[in-house]
Structure 1
Amino acid sequence: MKLRDIHNVYFLGIGGIGMSALARWFKHNGKAVSGYDKTPTALTNQLEGEGIAVHFEDDPAQISDKIKGSKEYALVIYTPAIPKDHKEWAWLKAEGFNIMKRSQVLGLITESMISVAVAGTHGKTTTSSMIVHLMKTAGIDCTGFLGGISTNYGTNMVMNEETNSIAVIEADEFDRSFLTLRPDVAVVTSIDADHLDIYGDKDALKESFALFVSKIEKKGKLFAKQGVGSQILGDENRIHHSSYALESADITAENLRIEEAAFVFDYKTSKKTITGIRLNVPGFHNVENALAAISVTKYFGADDDSIREGVSTYKGVKRRFEYIIKSESLVYIDDYAHHPVEIESLLKSVRALYPNKRITAVFQPHLFSRTRDFAPEFSESLSLADEVILLDIYPAREQPIEGVTSEMLLDKVTAERKTVCAKEALLEQIKAWQPEVLLTIGAGDIDKFVEPIKTELS
């Protein structure tokens, strides 16, 4: 299909963070957009407020007449989360509609644009949103397809001003979606083992990332976290690449220090130093994300002053080291971390910021398979907190696995105080422990407790 031939776009799973970004892009570009999702959410409410029709009953009769009456000019976009027995999905296939996965549509949209793709098992949402903000600050026109809600822009879809803008894409490794892209510039933030329910083992995951990197345009550029490039670059090394890390890499952060809960550092390469960069979104891992974002923005010609301004005014992404309460008596941070490496980075950064405070971590494991595959690593990373409250495992797309529970994690946690808690008892449990620094952590529905916790503790 050609984009110019599409008049109507229908989404199966429109409320997903990546799907809703695409819906907003098509709406912005003059297409009639509608869609289905399982349940109403704050995001679907926003889409409806923006003039996008959304319904929540799986019924082909709910599909708009605009879609039904113009099959040759309609595009159906689906998420892999749609079940195989979905009635609308079956009807649209039987009627012969043009149906594409979100990742295929991203490839279609960006094939004629200069593109930056940010991949990695964690860190990609923050890094891609940071690149967008730094580019906007530097006056470089870009379009941002993000996997989270940018706090600076209040959306997951940052629109371009000109038709020839640079596309910044969060490239998802889940079900190998990122292999539909052919970026001019790519970032790979991490390749820690994850999604083993899809890949089977880490070697298969690495092979997928190697394929992704092989799709970078011949005159393109790769920025990879130190230690990552050597695992995924082929022997021919045709791609120009640079490594980044806090130290011992091509791109590093020198004179790194904490000042008033912010990270201040100098951006350093063999040819360039930018001094006095202040990052107000804390976390050592976010300093590394900033190194990648600065490098991409410099690649497209940003000056040093705009880099400093962009980093200092970057406000982060919802549910990524997001301060909910920040006072002398209590700090409350909410974070999307759902992998042991992410939890370790989060807790080490919080400990560095608040070395004399008692840290209480509330964690909701995400997926039975992930909990099973990384149980010792989860327990070890959570042990960096002083107190740990575990919720039951959030199943998402999975059925329970016998013997895989939150209790199996708790047994190996070495924190001073620990417990497994039912959702309905969480507020009372937190109140009883009187935390000094509280973290809610996880990718399930733990975010539904953020406002109630805030209200209770305030």
Structure 2
Amino acid sequence: MIADTPAADLSPVHFIGIGGAGMSGIARIMLAMGLQVSGSDAKDSLLLTALAAEGATVHVGHDPRQLDGVRTVVASSAVRDTNPELARARELGLQVLHRSAALAAVSSGRQVVAVAGTNGKTTTTSMTTVMLQHCGLDPSFSIGGELTESGTNAHLGSGAVFVLEADESDGTFVVYRPQVGVVTNVQPDHLDFYGTAEAVEQGFLEFARSIRPGGLLVACADDTGSARLAERAAAEGIAVRTYGESDGADVRLDDLVLDQSGSGFEVWSAGRPVGRARVNVPGHHNALNALAAWTAIVAVGVAPTDALAAIGSFTGTRRRFEPRGSAGGVRLFDDYAHNPGKVAAALQTARQVAGDGRVVVVFQPHLYSRTKDFAVEFGRALGLADEVVVMDVYAAREDPQPGVSGALVADAVPLPPEHVAFVPSWSAVAGAVRARVRPGDLVLTVGAGDVTMLADELLALLGGSDPR
């Protein structure tokens, strides 16, 4: 892995899986830097069309001939060694970079704010970016989701700050050398890579150790894993600033008032009141995410009161409790949540937004390994809903595992059997959901796979249309 290669020395660059959320963002930034960019993906998508319009050469399907003239190949951990382009790149002796190393290259020379955490990093990265923009800065950014405000997941800015989402899934988030490292929480996930919860915590400690000398770790005091990280980092001499509702937090959220469209709260820093803020996206967790973003942008020089006013400028991120429309008296939302903590947070938000209405959730498990490891925890989280429909596993990069299916999750939901259904056939899911809903309900589709595509069909069955 090469973390310090100047981006200009990488061109021409070819991305394997260029249509992915993270890969497409890096490609966009390289295009804005004037680099020659090409890429391939297994299937066509709107992202590929957008990248082509921005100057990239894009291909549907993987073919070694697409490497002609290429100097550097970028691949993520999801790309298998048997991929024909990756195998050919190694045969030719081309420079092969992991996605994280490519992102480190384009962020080199900037004041990096890297946002990590098992849950909430996309939203917190987005909030940090939008708040900096509201304060008149033009940060560069690379996010694993599209901002509602600008409709993009990446931008090469003119300012000194580069905000990026630091993915912990394969341990490569240690390459960014940030000035400010944010950790929203540390919980067991990606055990297919880490093996144990203890190894996950060690991975986040390595991330904290990667912060530049004189930099700052911003860690949530309310999450036990993040709080332990803060203690271990401080013991090693790393500067730490904690945030949360806990009495001992350096930056504290107080007098929280939640409503269906967001929340209001007081911000205290170093034992003194800063003022009251408003977050215009619902959910208790989003109030904490906003506090993390406030702490981060103050750390890079934004005045505390300006940062406070900027919190209200954020309006959301695609696929993070995203409104998808309403019909027949039913409101539909979509969320990318794919581990138990995220699913629980999404359903807690749904409860808040639904008011007196019922919550109907459609959950698509993501990865066989995660489903096997956390079926009970997923079931417990889904029990926060009134009606549960569980789809079969979205395999993504994995092969099927004997005995592992969405039925494991459905069986673990602590609701009466008549309120839980396992529907393994994708084409049957919308009808199964339609049979369960009634006016006043809130329907939430959840998962990191193609469950998001159900929104169109559900709205059509309910008599409406997608507002986008």
Q: Structure 1 101/419 Cα, relative in aligned 2: closer, same or farther at 3 Å?
A: same
Q: Which moved more, 1:248-257 or 1:337-346?
A: 248-257
Q: CA contact under 8 A between 1:191 and 1:205: conserved in structure 2?
A: yes
SS in 2 for 1:434: coil
Q: Give 2:20's aligned residue.
A: 16
Contact kept, 8 Å, 1:218 with 1:238, in 2: the verdict is: no
Contact 1:111 1:182 in 2 (8 A): no
Amino acid aligned to 1:9: V
1:419 aligns with 2:424: no
Unaligned runs of 5+ in 1: 68-73
- Give the aligned partner of residue 284 of structure 1: 284
Report deviation, 1:377: 0.9
Q: Which runs of structure 2 are paired with 1:34-53 in the superposition (5 Å)?
A: 34-53=38-57
| Percentage identity across paired residues of the two chains | 34
1:56 counterpart = 2:60: yes
Identify the residue that residue 428 of structure 1 maps to in structure 2.
431
Equivalent residue number for residue 205 of structure 1: 200
| Higher mean displacement: 191-200 or 42-51 | 42-51
1:308-323 matches, cutoff 5 A: 308-323=308-323
Q: Alpha carbon RMSD of aligned pairs, Å?
A: 1.9
Q: Distance in 2 between matches of 1:260 and 1:413?
A: 26
Change (3 A) 1:381 1:57: closer
State the shift of 1:353 in Å.
3.2
- In the TM superposition, residue 398 of structure 1 has moved relative to its aligned partner by 1.4
Count of residue correspondences: 449
CA distance in 2, matches of 1:143, 1:364: 33
2:30 aligns to what SS in structure 1?
Answer: helix
The AA in structure 2 aligned to 1:450 is A
Query: Cα gap change, 1:347/1:4 in structure 2, threshold over 3 Å: closer, same or farther?
Result: closer
C-alpha separation between the residues in 2 aligned to 1:134 and 1:310?
A: 5
Q: Match of 2:41, as an amino acid?
A: D
- Whether the 8 Å CA contact 1:33–1:53 is kept in 2: the answer is yes
Q: What's the CA shift for 1:298?
A: 1.7
Name which of 210, 223, 226 aligns with 1:215.
210
CA deviation after TM superposition for structure 1 residue 272, in Å: 4.1
- Contact kept in structure 2, 1:138 and 1:303, CA below 8 Å: no
Instruction: Work out whether residues 223 and 244 of structure 1, in 8 Å CA contact, stay in contact via their aligned partners in 2.
Output: yes
Which residue in 2 is equivalent to 1:71?
none
Contact 2:204 2:229 survives alignment (8 Å): no
2:98 and 2:79 map into 1 onto residues whose CA distance is 11
Q: CA deviation at 1:230?
A: 2.0
Give the AA of the match of 2:17. Answer: G
Q: Distance in 2 between matches of 1:260 and 1:105?
A: 40
Cα pair distance change 1:191/1:260, threshold 3 Å: closer
How far residue 161 of structure 1 moved from its aligned partner, in angstroms, is 2.1
Distance 1:407 1:220 in 2: 46
More divergent stretch after superposition (197-206 vs 91-100): 91-100
Aligned 1:134-283 pairs, distance under 5 A: 134-162=131-159, 165-226=160-221, 227=224, 228-231=226-229, 233-234=232-233, 236-248=235-247, 249-259=249-259, 261-283=261-283
Structure 1 pair 253/2, CA: closer, same or farther in 2 (3 Å)? closer
Checking the alignment, whether the CA contact within 8 Å between 1:258 and 1:353 is kept in structure 2 is: no
CA–CA distance in 1 between the matches of 2:369 and 2:259? 40
Task: Please give the TM-score of this superposition, normalised by the length of structure 1.
Answer: 0.93
Cα deviation for residue 387 of structure 1 reads 0.5
Q: Which residue of 2 aligns with 1:26?
A: 30
Higher mean alpha-carbon deviation, 324-333 vs 432-441, is at 324-333
Aligned to 2:96: 99
Given the superposition, is the C-alpha separation of residues 266 and 372 from structure 1 closer, same or farther in structure 2, using an over 3 Å criterion?
Answer: same
Structure 2 counterpart SS, 1:211: helix
1:132 deviates by: 0.6
Alpha-carbon contact 1:246-1:287 (below 8 Å) kept = no
8 Å Cα contact 1:384/1:415 also seen in 2: no
Which residue pairs with 1:373 in the alignment? Answer: 373
Between 143-152 and 260-269, the greater mean CA deviation after superposition: 260-269
String of CA shifts for 1:139-165, please: whole Å, max 9, x gaps: 233111111111111111022024xx2
What secondary structure, in the 3-state scheme, does the structure 2 residue paired with 1:175 have? coil
1:442 maps to 2:447: yes
Deviations 1:79-107 (A, max 9, x none): 22222122222222222212211111222
